[in-house]
């Protein structure tokens, strides 16, 4: 298998995010062209964020998702726009003008927390919805994606910045889990209701900070190496928590 291609700091669509958070570690790990479509046809304005889990161990120093997106998988093509490592590092895998194969469905339904998005004209789950892959597993995400930890802080900061940039309301009508998209075999991210509540609260607080100072305080970061490896098989199962 080819070695992964990673460009530190080179994520093209995250320049504004880096300006707001100068200490943020961002990387460009472009997906293989078979795993996305370029460009997006009839692009819809961004209207929400969908959170995923990569179904790999968090905090182990080895990040699979960007590597997986860089490989050819006939019949299993897929990608998300962004992938967020357990240590808080943020990878862009698909450019925002392109079309990531993230949500696993294209038809809308008229029920669930995405009803408002439906009324705003979204007709395709992959068009107009930002997708973010979190390093971790759906079965244990409530233990590894912890409030205030590095991965949580980056998720909050990105969501606050992205929602302000695109005038997206910060609520459960515009913040979805992959399992809430219809016709799914996956049950990620499996956030417990208190995690959703805390995540939205922190995104609101961060957005208020960005509005008031137009920047965020820098955070000291350390240096470390990045290891990507071959991905394990995805595992699916019944949800531990009911969707809210």
Looking at the predicted structure, is the pLDDT value of residue 3 above 70? Answer: no
For the chain, what percent of residues have pLDDT higher than 90? 57
pLDDT digits (tens, 9 = 90+) for 111-155: 444 445 555 666 667 778 899 999 999 999 999 999 999 999 999
Band of the pLDDT at 16, cuts 50, 70, 90? very high
What's the pTM? 0.84
pLDDT of 229 above 60: no
Higher pLDDT: 226 or 157? It is 157
* Cβ–Cβ < 8 Å for 92, 29: yes
Check: CB of residue 142 under 8 Å from CB of residue 191: yes
51-77 pLDDT tens trace: 999 999 999 989 999 999 999 989 889
Calpha distance 33→37 (Å, rounded): 7
The answer to whether residue 177 scores a pLDDT higher than 50 is yes
Task: Kindly indicate the confidence band of residue 181, based on its pLDDT and cuts at 50, 70 and 90.
Answer: confident
pLDDT at residue number 127 = 78
Q: For residue 217, what pLDDT band results from cuts at 50, 70 and 90?
A: very low
- Identify which of 173, 147, 179, 197 has the alpha carbon closest to the alpha carbon of residue 243: 179
> Does residue 188 register a pLDDT over 80?
yes
Q: Identify the pLDDT of residue 107.
A: 46
Which bin fits 61, alpha (ψ -120 to 50), beta or left (φ > 0)?
Answer: left
Closest Cα partner for 191 from 125, 239, 223?
239
Mean pLDDT within 231-241: 38
Per-residue pLDDT averaged across 187-200, rounded?
95
Please tell me the distance from the alpha carbon of residue 184 to that of residue 234, in angstroms, as a whole number: 13
Q: How far apart are CA 209 and CA 82, in angstroms?
A: 23
Mean pLDDT along residues 150-173: 96
């Amino acid at each position: 298998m080819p070695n992964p291609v990673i460009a530190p700091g080179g994520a093209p669509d995250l320049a504004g995010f880096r300006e707001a958070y100068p200490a943020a570690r961002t990387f460009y790990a472009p997906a293989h062209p078979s795993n996305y479509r370029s460009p997006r046809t009839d692009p819809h304005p961004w209207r929400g964020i969908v959170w995923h889990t990569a179904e790999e161990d968090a905090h182990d120093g080895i990040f699979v998702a960007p590597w997986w997106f860089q490989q050819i998988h006939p019949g299993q093509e897929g990608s998300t726009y962004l992938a967020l490592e357990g240590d808080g590092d943020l990878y862009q895998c698909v450019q925002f003008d392109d079309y990531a194969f993230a949500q696993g469905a294209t038809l809308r339904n008229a029920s669930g927390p995405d009803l408002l998005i439906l009324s705003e004209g979204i007709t395709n789950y992959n068009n107009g919805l930002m997708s973010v892959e979190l390093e971790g597993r759906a079965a244990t995400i409530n233990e590894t994606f912890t409030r205030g930890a590095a991965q949580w802080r980056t998720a909050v900061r990105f969501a606050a910045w992205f929602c302000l940039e695109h005038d997206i309301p910060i609520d459960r009508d515009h913040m979805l889990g992959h399992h809430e998209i219809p016709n799914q075999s996956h049950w990620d991210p499996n956030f417990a209701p208190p995690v959703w509540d805390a995540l939205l609260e922190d995104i609101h607080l961060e957005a208020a900070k960005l509005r008031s100072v137009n920047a965020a305080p820098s955070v000291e970061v350390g240096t470390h190496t990045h290891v990507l490896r071959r991905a394990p098989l995805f595992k699916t199962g019944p949800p531990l928590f009911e969707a809210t």
